Amino acid sequence: MNTSSQGEIKLANFKVGVDSVIFCVDLERNRLLVLVVKRIEEPFVNTWSLPGTLVREGESLESAAYRILSEKIPVKNLYLEQLYTFGGPHRDPRESPDSYGVRYLSVSYFALVSYASAHLLLENSKQVAWYEVSKVPPLAFDHDQILDYGYQRLKNKLAYSPIAFDVLPELFTLHDLYQLYEIVLGANFSDYSNFRNRLLKLGFLQNSKIKISKGAGRPANLYRFSSSAFAPIKDYPLVFI
């Protein structure tokens, strides 16, 4: 960072926004949902957009991300990570010449939240909504692009990281887990029996021996993610698919 002070060179001044792609897997109705909010001011007033906020004094990027999240849903049982930073000029219409040349930069975050948290808000105001990923309307700014990017990341993360266990309940059946993967990656992403064998062979799923019945049929075992059993293998390249 050098500030060579030749006559005409001026540094840009930025406001920094944090926009989040918040996913939620609805296991009851087999849907992958993403959270959108309706803009209440210009630009793009009344257009759907990703939930976001501008970073305040003394606030970190991640805090800002958590702040908007917590305004919408309980911030428990979630996975959050930084996605990408979009910072080109002219990506925000507010960057008009008459606004003293202030630029708007957006640091995007990607989150996966538990359905239990999420559906608290399902009946909420008209300003906030969960859309199925395949049915999201056109979004404000470059948010369509950010959403695509986040969706890709979600699919990759699911294949290589244990993020599913951040949003499943403490105890879950292997069919729940399989279904979560199916909803995100598409049906036939893998044979159930092979999926099951692979996961169990990795050794971090603990059979609680507690049984749970879902109508007719053999009751399923409830499993638990054992972070202590996962710790030693966390740095190896694992594939969960």
Q: List 130's β-bridge partners, or say none.
A: 35
Q: Which residue has the tokens 């959403």?
A: 147
Is there binding between residue 11 and a second copy (CB under 8 A)?
A: yes
CB of 63 to a second copy, least distance (A): 9
Is there binding between residue 224 and DNA (CB under 7 A)?
A: no
User: How deeply is 140 buried, as exposed, middle or buried, from its count of CB atoms within 10 A (0-12, 13-18, 19+)?
Assistant: buried
3-state SS class at 115: helix
Query: Binding mask 128-167 vs a second copy (x if CB under 8 A, - otherwise)?
Result: ----------------------------------------
Residue 221, binding choice from a second copy, DNA, none, Cβ under 5 to 8 Å by partner class: DNA
Judge whether 107 and 20 are in contact, CB under 8 Å: no
Residue 97, binding choice from DNA, a second copy, none, Cβ under 5 to 8 Å by partner class: none
The span from the CA of 110 to the CA of 158, in Å, is 13
- Residues of span 135-194 touching DNA by CB under 7 A: 173-175, 190-191, 193-194
CA torsion through residues 87, 133, 193, 205, sign: positive
Judge whether 189 and 241 are in contact, CB under 8 Å: yes
CB of 152 to DNA, least distance (A): 21
Residue 215, binding choice from a second copy, DNA, none, Cβ under 5 to 8 Å by partner class: DNA
Contacts to DNA by CB under 7 A: 173-175, 190-191, 193-194, 196-198, 211, 213-221, 239
